[in-house]
Amino acid sequence: MYDTPTLERTVDNSTVKFSARDVHVFYGETEAIKGVDVDILDKTVTAFIGPSGCGKSTFLRCLNRMNDTIDICRVTGKITLDGADIYDKRIDPVQLRAKVGMVFQKPNPFPKSIYDNVAYGPRIHGLARTKADLDVIVEKSLRRAALWTEAKDRLNEPGTGLSGGQQQRLCIARAVATGPEVLLMDEPCSALDPIATAQVEELIDELRQSYSVVIVTHSMQQAARVSQKTAFFHLGDLVEFGETGQIFTNPKDPRTESYITGRIG
């Protein structure tokens, strides 16, 4: 079941990036997240696993305040990024999202050129003063996303013309271009074929050198392959959070065990 030896991996940084305390999320009257406490470390891949509708995506979207765009959604509790409360009134969610990049389930490049897709974020945040600066950012981001060699000769072609896996890496390049500290990935491989999935997973492992990565996934194998920390969500509760190896080999909670052995979910 596990094709990489997860046990040998160690979490090599203990700086806390995100810290959530008693987070509740309500959609109207429905409570989707029921009091989650979690610390997400820097330079670490943290996987959120759990059955459909367990709230893992909802919680992920709290971390860059994407839930703000849903009218009926209400978040209580406290989430800090580097010690600062991201739900503080003085925090601009737009600025927050530049620091906390997001990659979505379905590759969603803008219907513009590859170059413009990557350059969009730096442009709106004023990160590049000259065209040359912007060129540098675009190249760096595409290299980060392991797309440079494939895309460098077709920067002016539409991003929507790439293959699914390339599109998803383009979306990663786009997220990386604004210079974020955290990358949130909402099931980034669920729309990709196995080869593209392998490429993206490899990329996630590289991205860990520079970013704190949080990934929501349906695939437990994927969580085991790419993450160092795993959080198991069930019906809006964070059931268990710990080292990936420990969660998969020696879960403490019976619900976790049932899920990873395939009895619930």
Write down the H helix ranges in the chain.
56-62, 93-99, 114-124, 131-144, 148-151, 164-177, 194-207, 220-226, 244-249, 254-260
The CA-atom distances, in angstroms, between 155 and each of 22, 71, 142, 152, 261 are 45, 37, 10, 6, 45
Instruction: Give the residue with the Cβ less far from another protein, 68 or 257.
Output: 68
Compute the least distance from the CB of residue 27 to another protein, in Å: 14
Residue 51: DSSP 8-state: S
Handedness of CA 213, 25, 174, 104 (dihedral sign): positive
Q: How far is the CB of 107 from another protein (least distance, A)?
A: 9
- Catalog residues that contact another protein under the rule CB under 8 A: 64, 66, 69, 71, 94-98, 101-104, 106, 108-111, 120-121, 124-125, 171, 174-175, 177-178
Angle between helices 114-124 and 131-144 (to 10 degrees): 110
Query: CB-wise, 78 or 123, nearer to another protein?
Result: 123
- Min. distance of Cβ 8 from another protein in angstroms? 34
Least distance between another protein and beta carbon 210 (Å): 17
Burial classification of residue 71, based on how many CB atoms lie within 10 Å of its CB (0-12 exposed, 13-18 middle, 19 or more buried): exposed
As measured in angstroms, the least distance from the Cβ of 98 to another protein is 4
Q: Closer to another protein at the Cβ: 177 or 200?
A: 177
What is the enclosing helix (H) or strand (E) of 104? none
Task: Specify the residue for token string 């879960």.
Answer: 251
Q: How many CB atoms lie within 10 A of CB 37?
A: 13
Pick between residue 105 and residue 258 the one whose CB is nearest to another protein.
105
Minimum Å gap between C-beta 16 and another protein is 23
Cβ closest to another protein, residue 98 vs residue 224: 98
Cα 256 from Cα 178, distance rounded (Å): 36
Query: Is the Cβ of residue 6 or residue 117 nearer to another protein in the bound state?
Result: 117
